[in-house]
Structure 1
Amino acid sequence: MAEATLLAGQGLLVASEQLAGLTITEKTPGDFVSEADVHAEKVIFDHLMQRFPDYGWLGEETQERPSREGGLRWIVDPLDGTTNFLKGLPHWAVSIALFQADDPLAALIYDPVKGEMFCAEKGEGAYLNGRAITVSQAVPFSAALVASGVPSGGRTTYLSHCLDDLEQLMPQTAGLRRWGAAALDLAYVAAGRFDAYWERNLGPWDIAAGMLIVQEAGGRFTPLWANRAVLSSGSFLASNGALHDAVEAALNRAEV
């Protein structure tokens, strides 16, 4: 798993120096995929499937493949933060998780630019480059640094919800970040860099690895709507635990 992540990440680093030559497709308004994404996913797929041929597969850029071994499946985002990558912004990552049905077992998020690998196994804690990490300690709401995503392009279903959230939370916190790479936002909650992060309508590959890493670092990760599984709704709140209820109470949790 780590080897596949490193191989894909190093290939993406090379591609990031040759952006002008990449073929780029706009899947939907504001949602891009490049040949670098596709190649990175193929590298990961080939590496993992050679070793675990009966595991299922769910990747952002390839067709889903059912599991033939006890519900075990990989959930992969080969390049989380594609728009950042294509604009030369050094904030993107490779994300891989191993699930059994809906239960996360292992996860890796690798940021090749900064040389940071966040990882976790169920029941074994969370780590950054081999060093144990934990979520931030309790802080006053006014000192909290939080993160979220704002819909762009054609993905405006929850735009009014997001604006409501910002109106409620921005005056109450020390600041809000919108950095465009969900996997890293979750990893930063796990490492204590952010105190909370929420978003709506993401893909399962955006969330799968980060949810386990946050939980193993001592944080809380909950769906925004209790009656909808987080991997299908793509809507969640992750936090250090201490601020969870306060942030949740401020969010617009109406379903659409």
Structure 2
Amino acid sequence: MSESVQTADIAVTADSVSDADLLDLTADAVRAAGSVLRERFGEVAAYRTREELMGALAANDDAALAVLRPRLTGLRPGAGWVEDELDGGALPPGEWWVVDPAEGNVNHLHALPEWAVTATLVRDNRPQLTAVHLPLTGETYTALAGAGARLDGRPLHVSPTADLGLGLVATSQARPDEDEDVVRRIGSSITAMLSDALVVRVAVPATLHLLNVAAGRLDAFWQFAGARADLLPGALLVTEAGGRITDTQGRPWTPQSESFLAAAPGVHAQAVTTLSR
């Protein structure tokens, strides 16, 4: 989908709203969209072809976007809008809403509980605020740059684990039909982590793993390639919860990076060593 600027029918006076208030309103928006998806959840979707699968995924996206788009564009009428969850790379200067209306959409269609609604406001390629709502549990994770990360208002902190051998780590598949080289890198990295970490979890979507890193339930998460929508929300949450965000070589991460690593400080260097093999 194109990265075009969308304008609300009725502009609100959002320019005078503080970022903290804007975050609260963003959280309201993802909760409202989550309610729509929750009503659509329960039965395994029937599909026989790739086209039917894509149609079912798009129907979920459209149902959530019907709520998200007018609310968020009303809050920031001049902000750009990105809703393609597979898009990557840098954004043009200015403000952009990076939205995943059904993060983990394929899980939703298979009646699995690991899915969410996310909205992140990016300013000049830096995530400024994010809200992630899990409709089945009612939990809402939020983060504001420089002001911490929270779960339903309670501060989040990454794990104090200092030994990767005692750590729970996770990875995810960035997108279907990955390039063969990326697939091989994923496989070799899982093998390396199976040797060095206590437990390795492999599942989609990335955002839910990153919530668990921010909350101290997981010690590290890594992924090769990736898109803005599945990494930016978690990157801000983990950073504000005290974690470290780099690529898998330990270099500063940007949306243009070819890999991603989020880890508790105590295991970050060990994770880099493992993933660099």
What interval of TM-score do these two structures reach, taking the shorter chain for normalisation?
0.7 to 0.9
Q: Is structure 2 residue 38 aligned with structure 1 residue 13?
A: yes
User: Structure 1 regions of 5+ residues with no counterpart?
Assistant: none
Aligned with residue 62 of structure 2, among 28, 32, 38? 38
* Identity score, percent: 30
Q: TM-score, normalised by structure 2?
A: 0.80
Q: What amino acid sits opposite 2:165 in the alignment?
A: S
Deviation at 1:174, TM superposition (A): 1.3
Specify the alignment match of 1:104 in structure 2.
Answer: 127
Q: How many pairs are equivalent?
A: 248
In structure 2, how many angstroms separate the alpha carbons of the residues matched to 1:103 and 1:187? 19
User: Is the Cα contact below 8 Å between 1:136 and 1:240 reproduced in 2?
Assistant: yes
User: Structure 2 regions of 5+ residues with no counterpart?
Assistant: 1-25
Which 10-residue stretch deviates more, 11-20 or 49-58?
11-20
Q: Is structure 2 residue 145 aligned with structure 1 residue 122?
A: yes
Deviation at 1:50, TM superposition (A): 2.0
User: Is the Cα contact below 8 Å between 1:107 and 1:121 reproduced in 2?
Assistant: yes
Specify the alignment match of 2:27 in structure 1.
Answer: 2
Deviation at 1:106, TM superposition (A): 0.5
Specify the alignment match of 2:95 in structure 1.
Answer: 72
Specify the alignment match of 1:140 in structure 2.
Answer: 163
Deviation at 1:231, TM superposition (A): 1.6
User: Is the Cα contact below 8 Å between 1:77 and 1:205 reproduced in 2?
Assistant: yes
Distance 1:168 1:61, change over 3 A: closer
Deviation at 1:162, TM superposition (A): 1.2
In structure 2, how many angstroms separate the alpha carbons of the residues matched to 1:217 and 1:237? 15
Specify the alignment match of 2:225 in structure 1.
Answer: 201
Q: TM-score, normalised by structure 1?
A: 0.86
Q: What amino acid sits opposite 1:3 in the alignment?
A: D
Specify the alignment match of 1:149 in structure 2.
Answer: 172
User: Is the Cα contact below 8 Å between 1:24 and 1:35 reproduced in 2?
Assistant: no
Distance 1:13 1:162, change over 3 A: same
Aligned with residue 232 of structure 1, among 256, 267, 271? 256
Q: What amino acid sits opposite 2:95 in the alignment?
A: L
Deviation at 1:243, TM superposition (A): 0.7
Deviation at 1:34, TM superposition (A): 3.2
Deviation at 1:251, TM superposition (A): 1.1
Distance 1:245 1:25, change over 3 A: farther
Q: What amino acid sits opposite 1:76 in the alignment?
A: V
Specify the alignment match of 2:79 in structure 1.
Answer: 55
Deviations for 1:162-203, whole angstroms, at most 9, x for unmatched residues? Answer: 111122110221101123111111111000011000001221
In structure 2, how many angstroms separate the alpha carbons of the residues matched to 1:108 and 1:3? 9
Distance 1:228 1:247, change over 3 A: closer
RMSD of aligned C-alpha atoms?
3.0
Deviation at 1:110, TM superposition (A): 1.0
Deviation at 1:11, TM superposition (A): 0.4
Deviations for 1:182-229, whole angstroms, at most 9, x for unmatched residues? Answer: 111111100001100000122111111111110000000113468896
SS of residue matched to 1:158: helix
Q: What amino acid sits opposite 2:216 in the alignment?
A: G
Distance 1:234 1:208, change over 3 A: farther
Specify the alignment match of 2:204 in structure 1.
Answer: 180
In structure 2, how many angstroms separate the alpha carbons of the residues matched to 1:55 and 1:37? 20
Q: What amino acid sits opposite 1:222 in the alignment?
A: T
Deviation at 1:47, TM superposition (A): 0.9
Higher helix share: 2
Higher strand share: 1
In structure 1, how many angstroms separate the alpha carbons of the residues matched to 2:147 and 2:49? 40
Aligned with residue 247 of structure 1, among 250, 271, 276? 271
